[in-house]
Amino acid sequence: MLKRNTQQRRRAIVDLVNELGEATVELLASKFDTSAVTVRKDLVALEAAGLLLRKFGGAMSVPKELSADPQGHKVSKRKKLIAKAAADCIRDHYRVIIDSGSTTAAMIPELNQKRGLVVMTNSLAVANALHGLENEPTLLMTGGTWDPHSESFQGQVAEQVLRSYDFDQLFIGADGVDLSRGTTTFNELIGLSHAMAEVAREVVVVIESDKIGRRIPNLELPWQQINRLVTDDGLAPEVRQTIEKLGVEVTVASTQAD
């Protein structure tokens, strides 16, 4: 019931902010009969989802030119379904790494039902979204050097921090999948990806099916380091068989789901 009330309240907050244009924390707390602390957590989660913008003392609606999202940053239904299928692999009390990326970030709302999680991330967007969960997990940040290209922390400091821990699972995206080599990326900063894979007992790649078969020069993770691939049902059966023959388990999220 708590989770349902949280979701209902957050939808109502978005509706009210859109109606008024902006609203203070005090107004929202009074309107929804809850504390200012809870409202601020709601606003963090709603901003991470792109549904409103926070401002000092409250929130405002997303300007139309931003909500139109001309650069296509809005998370697609397909990515959300992949993210849900990936999150279903996580058990209560697991220690997981969630790498930066739009598909991995889409996993965060699905973690609200999990208990006792410890989550390490190199992404501020993922960290903010985790902070907005009602059932907030223990959050660890890699630190390191900010890379504007990947919008994440990278570098030797981040790698050293990671190697101080061990984890049950790593969830990581990719720019492409080369069927003969592994995951590929346009980004040349791949040291952190290797460190993440080294300290996780299971490496889970989350990626849309139309990126599988892409040939990109930079190899990120070879197949030997990958345990599971989560994608959508656009994956061709023969491609799935090829990946499974490499010893990688394939999980397919149905895009026909309601």
Q: Which of 30, 27, 104, 97 is nearest to 60 (CA)?
A: 27
Is 258 contained in some domain?
A: no
Rg (CA), the chain: 19
For residues 90 and 207, membership in a common domain is answered with yes
pLDDT of residue 229: 98
For residues 120 and 228, membership in a common domain is answered with yes
Among residues 16, 42, 67, the one where a domain terminates is 67
pLDDT of residue 215: 78
What stretch of H or E contains 200? strand 200-206
Among residues 18, 34, 67, the one where a domain terminates is 67
pTM for the whole thing?
Answer: 0.76
pLDDT of residue 74: 60
pLDDT tens for the 258 residues of the chain, in order = 344 588 789 889 999 999 999 999 999 999 999 999 999 988 888 876 678 888 889 999 877 644 444 334 566 889 999 999 999 999 999 999 999 998 999 999 899 889 999 999 999 889 888 887 878 899 999 999 988 877 889 999 999 999 999 999 999 999 999 999 999 998 878 999 999 999 999 999 999 999 999 878 899 999 999 999 999 999 999 999 999 999 999 999 987 754
For residues 82 and 11, membership in a common domain is answered with no
- Residue 213: both structure tokens together: 């078969």
3 state SS of 66: helix
pLDDT of residue 5: 80
> Could you tell me how many residues make up the chain?
258
For residues 57 and 101, membership in a common domain is answered with no
Instruction: Name residue, tokens 């790698």.
Output: 159
Strands lying side by side in the sheet with 58-60: 22-24, 58-60, 53-55
Instruction: Write the CATH number for 170.
Output: 3.40.50.1360
Is 147 contained in some domain?
A: yes
Contact 123, 152 (CB under 8 A): yes
For residues 35 and 81, membership in a common domain is answered with no
pLDDT of residue 171: 98
